Structure 1
Amino acid sequence: MAPFQAGNTPQLDIFIRGLKSHPLEASTETLVSLLKRRQISGSRPCAIAAVHILRQVVAKAPYRDVDGLIAKIQQTGQRLVHAQPHELAVGNIVRRVLGLIREEMQEDRTEFGGDSVSDLQTLCPEKEKETKEHVVGLPVLSRAPTLGGWSHQSAPFSIMNLLSPDQGSGAGSPMGRSGTSTPMLHGQNLSINNLKSEVLDGIDEITDELEQVDDQIAGYADIQIHPTDYILVHELDSTTERFLLRASRERRFTVFIAQGKSTTSKAGDATPSLFQKKLNSAGVKTINISNTGLAAYMTKVDKVILSVRGVTADGGAVAESGATAIAQAARAFGKPVVVLMGMYKLSPESTPDPRSLVEWGEPESFVNFSKGNMVNTVEVEVPLTEFVAPGLVDTYISNIGVHTQDHLPSLIVDHYNEQDSDFVLTIPA
């Protein structure tokens, strides 16, 4: 594993610095290429890259209304997910941004009060005549509109009508008959600019969440790890490191480090030697064990901690290769399995085919086919990741709390809009 870095990966840092000076389309193509070549890899770096490019879409892309902005985000999101379909965090970030837009749109609609035709007509005389009344903050109407005067019959008069491009002018629109000197286009631009500002603020909050997620998860370490505990961890990363180091401030415990053979280096991971030095200097004893010798140690283990790439809606976890064997051994010996996850890793989707979430590596790193007759007769599958079934996980610790599997649906409702949860982000082959 690659040495742990407190900041982002070099390629990610270069990409972020170049966003302001490069056109949007060029920046998007660059990110797609980096994701395909895995020069930006790992859940958190991919999520950070996705949120930065989507911020540029909101700030720079041309669009006239909310539907146009949503379409731009969806199009860019599809390209990013297609470039790296095994990182659930990318699709999660796209859905989070879509949810922000819909939330701000709904709040704008609420500010205008009632949004139906009948609501508007109650404020107007039965006969068409001159009036100087202001209708719930809208421009003054010189004549009362009738149902026949709407550009869309029976269409609700709401913020969506204000943002619709065909409502800007014309006799078919109530604003086309307005007695005010302010054109509809000005109000439309004002609403779009306000929406853009609010969405950008929301994206900045997601960025702050990604920067603080490891420290927030580590805040729950003291209630999970007790003195003299034996903790088994797998495939060390920055989240696991900070979690254990936070617990070591007040606790003295032993850590078993299960290491499997890996073919990839993930940005943000800690090498076992460096990680062990940090724990040892904090008074924590560490012991390296092999995945093949788990049963011999599982009887002493008090808790298994897994850091994962993603969590599906049903509670399944996408983790590094070898995690399933650890979780199954823990279940056989009655040991609890705890998953560490930022909320950006929780996906609103469940998959009917777990193998579709598995990332496969090159067999040459494990089996040398340069000699022998097996090369044309044997197919070797090398999974870099595995799907840990929901029934093998007991507890999920996120940056907002400690959860059980039954609590995950409510978290999904809080973080995603229902309209985007089932949105297909992948591009058909």
Structure 2
Amino acid sequence: ALLTESVSKPNVHKRIDALAVRLRRRQLIGSREVALEVVRLFRDVVAGARFSPFDQLLAHLEEIGRVLQDAGPKELVVTNMTRRICMLIREEYQTALSNHLAETGGPSGAQTPMQVPQTPSLNRELSGTFMTEQDLPIKSSGALGSIFDLLGHKSAVDGVGRASYGFASTDNSPTASTSSTPIQSPSSSQILQRPSPATLNSNFASYMSDGDQSREEVFSRRSYHLKPVFIEAIQELMDEVETTYRSVGEQALDHIHPGEFILTLGHSKTVEAFLKNAARKRKFTVICAETAPSFSGRDAAVALSAAGIPTILIPDSNIFALLPRCSKVLLGPHVILADGALLSITGSLPLCLAANRMRVPVVAVGGMFKFSPVYLGEADWGMRDLGSPEEVLKSTEECVAERDGDELDETEVLNPYYDVVPAEIVDLYISNLGGHPSSLLYRLLNDMYGSS
């Protein structure tokens, strides 16, 4: 049972359990389909949620996300959507809270201006924008004084004025300082002194009055009236996921040129839409690898050939021989990790290593919902899926041999469904927002999920 079970109605909890069962039984496959189901569920959860403080809603959504992620540990899109929805809701709440505090800032409705703390060494009031000769502790007979004479300023500095700035007087006037030890001028460290972080934090805390904190607590308890705003933000995210194929396809003409030979692996709907959109105005050839043992490359070749794109289907053993003729490699990864590594269909790693050896660029194509803030170490090895060994080696009685009456150990057959491709051998990431190099992925993830 959920710790925040009272937030949602019983029918919503039934939907949560049903989606968890589908993820656990692998009845829901595909990053886009999983993302859409999760966003729809969260939209219904927010629509029927009963929460008093705003933090209770966030805790409920995060708990639902953990339950779904535990049910399908290989579908990191669940975590992506959960964090992004929580960030969108938090941003809408902070905007509404800021507007509320601005409208009720003071007793009369006017907001009290914030006072900026003064720098300790710059507490002297300046009489003007530019310094005059009166601001300098040197007589006009000095070097700086002669400069002011050239500029037409008159000398009006006496010993008292100079002593007030901390310099000893050198004239013979009665008011001149007679001390043998001159007063030291302020050092550069004192002039450039800034308040410490502790001082700034205490000053900032003093600006937030008790009335502002109490108004924020009242607003948080009554934040249920913001549910239409939250639902609208979630709906915009759903529209973004639904239009991924079209928005990613719009980037195709910037990256595909006439006469190119493009190599693909597996059957990715995003890559298919990307190539079909480019084929409207470009003439190129696509080479599809069979991608054994699933042989999903055959489905991709049929779909592209039906769209009028010249397509060549090759066995996986011919990839290394045909790579020198290719201008780029297109991959549709299952998920893109925080460091830029790809979790892609099996066979992607040897393909990318061969492309890196032959200086053929590797391009990953995927929607923004596939970009995950999770690193490989945090995701654990459980997200690496193992397929049925029947696809690799049929189970027959001949698999078990006998020698001298002793039965030998059975053969262990592994059929990994995903390969992890390091970010160092991926040249470009194309999403519905454009192309991104691996060095700028951290900024993209910061904009999507926040600094947390």
**Shorter chain as normaliser: what TM range?**
0.7 to 0.9
Any residues of structure 2 matched to 1:12-411 within 5 Å, and which?
23-113=11-101, 123=106, 133-134=108-109, 157=213, 160-163=216-219, 188=222, 191-194=223-226, 196-263=227-294, 271-272=299-300, 274-279=302-307, 281=308, 284-352=309-377, 355-371=381-397, 372-373=399-400, 376-411=409-444
Distance 1:355 1:332 in 2: 27
d(CA) in 2 for partners of 1:52 and 1:308?
23
Q: Identify if the C-alpha distance between structure 1 residues 320 and 159 changes in structure 2 by more than 3 Å, giving closer, same or farther.
A: farther
SS at match of 1:319: strand
Q: Which amino acid in structure 1 is aligned with residue 69 of structure 2?
A: V
Give the corresponding residue for 1:175. Answer: none
Whether the aligned pair in 2 keeps the contact of 1:61 and 1:72 (CA below 8 Å) is no
User: How many angstroms apart in 2 are the aligned matches of 1:264 and 1:163?
Assistant: 57
Aligned-CA RMSD value: 2.8
Q: Which residue of 1 aligns with 2:123?
A: none
CA distance in 2, matches of 1:298, 1:383: 24
Deviations 1:368-421 (A, max 9, x none): 3432337844332211111111111000000011110011111111111333xx
The Cα of 1:237 is off from its aligned counterpart by: 2.1
- Gap change, CA 1:225 and 1:72, over 3 Å in 2: same
CA distance in 2, matches of 1:382, 1:159: 59
Once residues 335 and 355 of structure 2 are traced to their aligned partners in structure 1, the CA distance between those partners, rounded to angstroms, is 20
Whole-Å Cα distance in 2 between the matches of residues 63 and 378 of structure 1? 56
Q: Quote the offset at 1:62 in angstroms.
A: 2.4
Would the aligned equivalents of 1:112 and 1:158 in 2 still touch at CA under 8 Å?
A: no
> 2: distance between equivalents of 1:343 and 1:391?
20
Number of the residue aligned with 1:8:
none
- Structure 2: distance between partners of 1:158 and 1:365: 64
Does the CA contact (< 8 Å) of 1:108 and 1:159 recur in 2? Answer: no
Could you tell me whether the CA contact under 8 Å between 2:428 and 2:438 is conserved in 1? yes
| Whole-angstrom distance in 1 between the partners of 2:295 and 2:50 | 39
Query: 1:340 Cα shift?
Result: 0.3
Deviation at 1:134, TM superposition (A): 4.5
Contact 2:263 2:289 in 1 (8 A): yes
Unaligned runs of 5+ in 1: 1-20, 125-132, 138-152, 166-187, 420-429
Question: Residue 104 of structure 1 contacts residue 198 of structure 1 at CA under 8 Å; is this kept in 2?
Answer: yes
State the alpha-carbon separation in 1 of the partners of residues 358 and 335 from structure 2. 25
| C-alpha separation in 2, matches of 1:352 and 1:260 | 27
- SS of the aligned residue for 1:63 comes to coil
Q: How many Å apart are 1:223 and its aligned residue?
A: 1.5
1:218 corresponds to which letter in structure 2?
A: G
Change (3 A) 1:95 1:159: farther
Counterpart CA distance in 2 for 1:333 and 1:264 is 25
Give the superposition deviation at 1:154. Answer: 6.6
Distance 2:249 2:418 in 1: 24
User: Is the 2:346–2:418 contact (alpha carbons within 8 Å) kept by the matching residues of 1?
Assistant: yes
Q: Secondary structure at the match of 2:325?
A: coil
1:414 maps to which residue? 447
Which structure exhibits the higher relative contact order, with contacts defined as CA atoms closer than 8 Å and separated by 6 or more residues? 1
Q: For 1:27 and 1:75, locate their aligned partners in 2 and report how far apart those are by CA, in whole Å.
A: 15
Once residues 385 and 258 of structure 2 are traced to their aligned partners in structure 1, the CA distance between those partners, rounded to angstroms, is 37
**Distance in 1 between residues matched to 2:367 and 2:53, nearest whole Å:** 32
1:351 shift after superposition? 1.8
Q: Specify whether residues 255 and 79 from structure 1 end up closer, same or farther in structure 2 by C-alpha distance, changes over 3 A only.
A: same
Give the AA of the match of 1:252.
K
The aligned amino acid for 1:193 is H
SS in 1 for 2:51: coil
CA contact (8 A) 2:289 2:315 kept: yes
Tell me: CA distance 1:264–1:244, structure 2 relative to 1, closer, same or farther (3 Å).
closer
Deviation at 1:30, TM superposition (A): 1.0
Q: Is the 8 A contact 2:328 2:362 kept in 1?
A: yes
Question: Which residue does 1:140 correspond to in 2?
Answer: none
Secondary structure class of the residue paired with 1:231 = strand
In 2 relative to 1, CA 159–29 (structure 1 residues): closer, same or farther, beyond 3 Å? farther
Contact 1:319–1:387 (Cα < 8 Å) also in 2: yes
Give distance in 1, aligned partners of 2:48 and 2:449: 24
Conserved? CA contact 1:263–1:361, under 8 Å: no
What is the CA distance between 1:163 and its match in structure 2? 4.3
TM superposition score normalised by structure 1: 0.73
Instruction: Count residues with an aligned counterpart.
Output: 341
Pick closer, same or farther for the CA change 1:87–1:78 going to 2, 3 Å. same
Shift of the 108–228 alpha-carbon distance from structure 1 to 2, 3 Å rule, reads same
Paired letter, 2:85: V
Provide the C-alpha distance between the structure 2 equivalents of 1:91 and 1:319, rounded to a whole number of angstroms. Answer: 18
The 2-side partners of 1:209 and 1:43 are apart by 14
Aligned to 2:445, what secondary structure does the other structure show? helix
